[in-house]
A and B are shown apart, each in its own frame.
Chain A
């Protein structure tokens, strides 16, 4: 595969969330507002890219029987680094993300890409694959964050978008958008729209 395909395929045809069904847990929980969504997307991209790189460099020496534990330890090490960096520089966002930074360890995107790609490909390609999948994940996260924050609290990145005059004439924020269930329904609709345009992704059964 060409290198640019490694970067671009995960954005649409092989999107980790809407096609591979990986990493959904965190995608839904951190998207009430845009800012945590962006921080989460960046953290996952960094961790995916570097764990892919590290595992791929050692792919010929890792004994297959204990590879899962080795993969988890590498990922856990990177996640601890990211967690400490977030705590040091963006403490309020890190508070908001709470356990979900820790849960990057069990984010299925990581294990999925390590198993499916990094174990059988060269380091540089694996690094690109990690960035591509992190970006595909981030794309959905930011789309979700935008929709939910705009409709749910009338703002983006914390800045008021919907003018005050609207509220005075009776407009109300949709409180449902902030609640967890609407995140699921929004992802469902995003999948619907994506498969409407990209018909080769439709389920056959």
Chain B
């Protein structure tokens, strides 16, 4: 249990998707103009990562990894399909996003309207595929660990976009040099935030 909490905290703060790995940067910079929309996108990303990482974990461990097919019989023990992982992971993500979109539309129309176009866009958010690939690289032992990792990664991403949006809302009232306005300043702000987040490194619970 403590192990899981540590995993969660580590992925929210020290190994934050945005500030440590720069994943999901494009939508992060493009959508962070107001707090309201960034909360919507943040929740959608948490949701998608928490669902896709465990599904991809199952695929990785029972289909792709070298020796993963041994449940089919001893003939398949040496089969290594890991070169197919990009293709399968992205297909799972695209399918999941489509599925989630349909479910949310049917069961929670209010949430669906709030998320709007962000839901389909998440299919190409690098943070989602990135989480799947990190899950593969770090070889999490159980599906619970993989789920907690996915939730932590998504939560960290949401936290980051909401923080940046709040700062950018305030910055509307400041007098910024013209060439730096907008995108340039957003980059520098993200850099400064990332330096602040580095202060969390070494935290252990």
Contact across chains for B179 and A25 when beta carbons are under 8 A apart: no
Interface: B4 (CB within 8 A): no
For A203, what are the chain B residues with a Cβ–Cβ distance below 8 Å? 181-183
Contact across chains for B90 and A105 when beta carbons are under 8 A apart: yes
For B111, what are the chain A residues with a Cβ–Cβ distance below 8 Å? none
A190 → chain B, closest Cβ, in Å? Answer: 9
Q: A106-B124, A106-B125 are in contact. Are A205 and B182 (CB under 8 A)?
A: yes
* Contact for A111 among B124, B177, B180, CB less than 8 A: B124
* Contact for A24 among B26, B180, B185, CB less than 8 A: B26
Q: A25-B24, A28-B25 are in contact. Are A185 and B187 (CB under 8 A)?
A: yes
* Contact for A184 among B85, B137, B181, B191, CB less than 8 A: B191
B167 → chain A, closest Cβ, in Å? Answer: 14
| Prevailing SS type, chain A contact patch | helix
Interface: B23 (CB within 8 A): yes
B120 → chain A, closest Cβ, in Å? Answer: 8
Interface: A135 (CB within 8 A): no
Interface: B102 (CB within 8 A): no
8 Å CB interface, B4-27 against A: 19-26
Contact across chains for B83 and A84 when beta carbons are under 8 A apart: yes
Contact across chains for B133 and A25 when beta carbons are under 8 A apart: no
For A194, what are the chain B residues with a Cβ–Cβ distance below 8 Å? 179
Interface: B87 (CB within 8 A): yes
Interface: B29 (CB within 8 A): yes
* Contact for B187 among A84, A108, A188, CB less than 8 A: A188
Please give 15 more A-B residue pairs, beta carbons under 8 A apart, in addition to A68-B120, A77-B87, A103-B130. Answer: A25-B25, A73-B87, A73-B91, A83-B86, A99-B134, A102-B86, A108-B126, A180-B21, A181-B192, A188-B191, A191-B179, A191-B184, A192-B177, A202-B181, A203-B182
* Contact for B26 among A21, A68, A72, A196, CB less than 8 A: A21
- Give chain B's interface residues, CB within 8 Å of chain A: 19-26, 29-30, 83-87, 90-91, 94, 120, 123-126, 128-130, 133-134, 137, 177-188, 190-192, 194-195, 198
For B22, what are the chain A residues with a Cβ–Cβ distance below 8 Å? 24-26, 28-29, 180, 183-184
| Prevailing SS type, chain B contact patch | helix
A108 → chain B, closest Cβ, in Å? Answer: 4
Q: A24-B25, A69-B94, A76-B86 are in contact. Are A181 and B195 (CB under 8 A)?
A: yes
For B137, what are the chain A residues with a Cβ–Cβ distance below 8 Å? 98-99
8 Å CB interface, A12-68 against B: 18, 21-26, 28-29, 68
A72–B126 Cα gap in the complex (Å)?
13
Contact across chains for B126 and A76 when beta carbons are under 8 A apart: no
For B183, what are the chain A residues with a Cβ–Cβ distance below 8 Å? 18, 21, 191, 203
Q: A69-B94, A105-B90 are in contact. Are A191 and B178 (CB under 8 A)?
A: no
Contact across chains for A184 and B187 when beta carbons are under 8 A apart: yes
Q: A80-B87, A99-B137 are in contact. Are A192 and B125 (CB under 8 A)?
A: no
For A103, what are the chain B residues with a Cβ–Cβ distance below 8 Å? 23, 126, 129-130, 133
Contact across chains for A106 and B30 when beta carbons are under 8 A apart: no
Contact across chains for B133 and A202 when beta carbons are under 8 A apart: no
